[in-house]
Structure 1
Amino acid sequence: MNMEELQTLVTDYLGPFGPLILVGMLGVFLILITLPILLKKEADPLDRLKASTRQEVKGKEKGEKLRNATSRDKLEKYSNFLEPQNEEEYSAVKLKLMQAGYRGKNSVRIFHFLQFALGIFGLILGGAYAVFISTQGDVETQELALSVLVPGAALYLLPRYWVTRRQQMRQEAIQNGFPDSLDMMLVCVEAGQSLDQSILRVARELAAGFPELAAEYEIVSQEMKAGKDKTSVLKDMAERSGTADISSFVTVLVQSQQFGTSISDALRVYASEMRDKRVMRAEEAANKLPTKMTLATMMLTVPPLMAILIGPSIYAIVQNLGSG
């Protein structure tokens, strides 16, 4: 079989752009084959020595490393490929994952690995679908490109959407349970317990109803027991939760500690404000409901009503025209 016959066969199966599609798929296949080889390539000892020297210099300049390597981590060798090397970007991704409830040491690395793996898998699925539809008939190049790129982009963005959704759900759960936790903490403080004991007791009581908020209180209690500064512990809690209510609560406790005022009085005032704020949120949601239901009401009510009112008249007109 010569080249002309091969080109004719490819054109018959894949359409007029068959050779271009075949070359593109061959390039993607070669990239997928060579990528693991490049990632597993052993570094030159001299290059490793230079890289370690640079890391030590950067570590001294920055004061700390972005992450701590562990010998058991299978993704460690791909860390430069799977992790942001910019400290600000790394901190932003880590904070987002932490607010979504993923506090693992390798959460950033696993997140980027899932994005990369799902993106490649989507491209493979899109390429297979493009080959299938091209065999069914003539297909435009734009449609083929979209059939390949859309699944890859969708699966690549899926982990980011999942983390964002988890972050919103977790913040909403913490926000819903926070007023009740303040009431419990106020009762514990007025009963004679310290703030550390009150936080631990509230964490135990909220574990069944609000596990996300109970986990945050548990972390605060454990860090206080370990001897960490109370102010920094509370600020870390506000950063992990990502809610404005807890940030304001931390500010109130820090100011109460600095100025020497009563913690119970501060808790009483703030708990009352949080209860009022929860009622206002419920009223706001109730006031939005009629507006959201207007479109659905029109779509589900107006067509049947028009059919009931106008249907008999239309039927009578048709009957009269037919008889005439």
Structure 2
Amino acid sequence: MNIFQDLNTMITDMLGPFGGILLLGFLGVVMILVTLPTVLKRPDDPLDRLKASVRAPAAKASEKTERLRAPSRKDKLEKYANFLEPQDAEEYTAAKLKLLRAGYKSKNAVRIFHFSQFALGILGLALGGLYALLKMQVQDLSSQDLMIMLLTPGVVGYMLPKYWVTRRVAARKEAITNGFPDSLDMMLVCVEAGQSLDQSILRVARELKAGFPDLALEFETVSQEMKAGKGKEAVLRDMSERCGVQDISSFTTVLIQSQQFGTSIAEALRVYAAEMRDKRVMRAEEAANKLPTKMTLATMMLTVPPLLLILIGPSIYGITQMMGSGN
């Protein structure tokens, strides 16, 4: 009994009044990290193998269509795929599409994204625990403050990859929208010069690589898929989904309809390029009209206080001097 009391006293002196809780939490995290590889590498249950062998003939025919990912021997995270990736086809497709729109086109992008969330969350918890230990040696902390110190870095680390991908999607959409009218003008010039649509797309991709690399990469992908023999309509629709920009969607619809109805692609590009130029001018005017409203608060904060000080300051100073001399 004295041994437990001495141990409790030692833990309390080292870690503070919540030392036992912190020690148990740290041991729990260590046990989870130690047992996680063992759980993920556990052997298959014979009953599960029997059920799989019974279902194998029916599932073999639809394996290619229902498979969410292609395994790779070089990927070190392949054995943790069931833990790091969503198993629902809709969730996996949505996550993959979002990462594509952010510019991450690797086949393991979804797996790496979820691994980053898991790793940064664990790292945040570890850093929060270390900070809490150092803080408890200086002052006493309540249980609420202790939980905030432990959980806040973990939540921030878990949400950081999602925030990064969201910002990347927004920045990429803006870059594609800004460079799209110029690409249409270049494409119109190439088509009117006698080049085919495939050649004009490739030429535009080469010319835009320095100024708008994201849009140039999309056009280059379209050109390579067309060379590989993929249908033009499917290639254009895939480009529209990857970009997630309304202007690109309208552009692909125009090209598909021109191909289906046999109309002139040059005429369609001329009309659509003029519309995109007008739209860019309207976006610039909209941004310019928003600027005075955005600057109103800054103008008031930086202009009104000095102006009041200059106008009212001497009067206030004279009044205080007069009242002081009167007293």
Question: TM-score normalised by the shorter chain: which range applies?
Answer: over 0.9
In the other structure, the counterpart of 1:28 is: 29
TM, length-normalised to structure 1? 0.93
1:47–1:277 CA distance, 2 compared to 1 (3 A): same
Deviation at 1:15, TM superposition (A): 4.0
Task: Identify the range of structure 1 (63-72 vs 109-118) with the bigger mean alpha-carbon deviation.
Answer: 63-72
1:82/1:113 contact within 8 Å kept: yes
Q: How has the CA–CA distance of structure 1 residues 220 and 56 changed in structure 2, closer, same or farther, with 3 Å as cutoff? A: farther
- Tell me the equivalent position of 1:239: 241
**Residue 253 of structure 1: aligned partner:** 255
Report the counterpart of residue 10 of structure 1 in structure 2.
Answer: 11
1:288 corresponds to = 290
1:14, distance to aligned residue in structure 2 (A): 3.9
Q: 1:147 deviation in Å?
A: 0.7
Select between 14-23 and 243-252 the one with higher mean Cα deviation: 14-23
Q: What's 2:120 paired with?
A: 118
Q: 1:205 aligns with which of 199, 203, 207?
A: 207
The 1:270–1:126 alpha-carbon spacing in structure 2 relative to 1, beyond 3 Å, is same
CA distance in structure 2 between the partners assigned to 1:93 and 1:139 by the alignment? 40
Q: Do the aligned partners of 1:13 and 1:134 also contact (CA within 8 Å) in 2?
A: no
* Root mean square deviation of aligned Cα: 2.1
Of residues 102-111 and 4-13 in structure 1, the stretch that sits farther from structure 2 once superposed is 4-13
My pick for the range that moved more, 125-134 or 77-86, is 125-134
Residue 141 of structure 1 aligns with which residue? 143
In structure 1, distance between residues paired with 2:200 and 2:127: 54
Distance 1:285 1:52, change over 3 A: farther
**Which amino acid in the other structure matches residue 206 of structure 1?**
L
Secondary structure at the residue paired with 1:2? helix
d(CA) in 2 for partners of 1:98, 1:202: 21
The offset of 1:194, in angstroms, is 0.8
| Amino acid aligned to 2:86 | P
Give, in whole Å, the separation in 2 of the partners of 1:79 and 1:244. Answer: 34
Matches within 5 A, 1:109-188: 109-188=111-190
Instruction: Give the alignment partner of residue 79 of structure 1, picking from 74, 78, 81.
Output: 81
TM-aligned CA deviation for residue 101 of structure 1:
0.6
Amino-acid identity (%): 68
Cα deviation, residue 138, structure 1: 1.5
On the 8 A contact 1:59/1:65 being kept in 2, the answer is no
Counterpart in 2 of 1:311? 313
User: Counterparts of 1:252 and 1:240 in 2: how far apart (Å)?
Assistant: 17
Matched residue SS, 1:73 = coil
2:61 corresponds to 1:39: no
Corresponding pairs, count: 324
Deviation, 1:307, is 2.1
Q: What CA deviation, in whole Å up to 9, does each residue of 1:257-293 have, x standing for no partner?
A: 1111111111010000000000000011111111111
Greater Cα offset, 31-40 or 226-235:
31-40
Relative to structure 1, the CA distance from residue 34 to residue 139 in structure 2 (aligned partners, 3 Å threshold; closer, same or farther) is same
- Alpha-carbon distance, 1:61 to partner: 4.3
Distance apart, 1:304 and its partner CA:
1.9
How far off is 1:51 after superposition?
Answer: 5.3
Secondary structure at the counterpart of residue 88 of structure 1: helix
The amino acid of 2:5's aligned partner reads: E
Unaligned runs of 5+ in 1: none
Write out per-residue CA displacement over residues 109-160 of structure 1, whole angstroms, 9 at most, x where no aligned residue.
1111111000000000011111111221221111110111110010111111
* Deviates most, 183-192 or 295-304: 295-304
Q: 1:51 to 1:134 in 2, by over 3 A?
A: farther
Name the CA shift for 1:23/1:108 in 2 (closer, same or farther; >3 Å): same
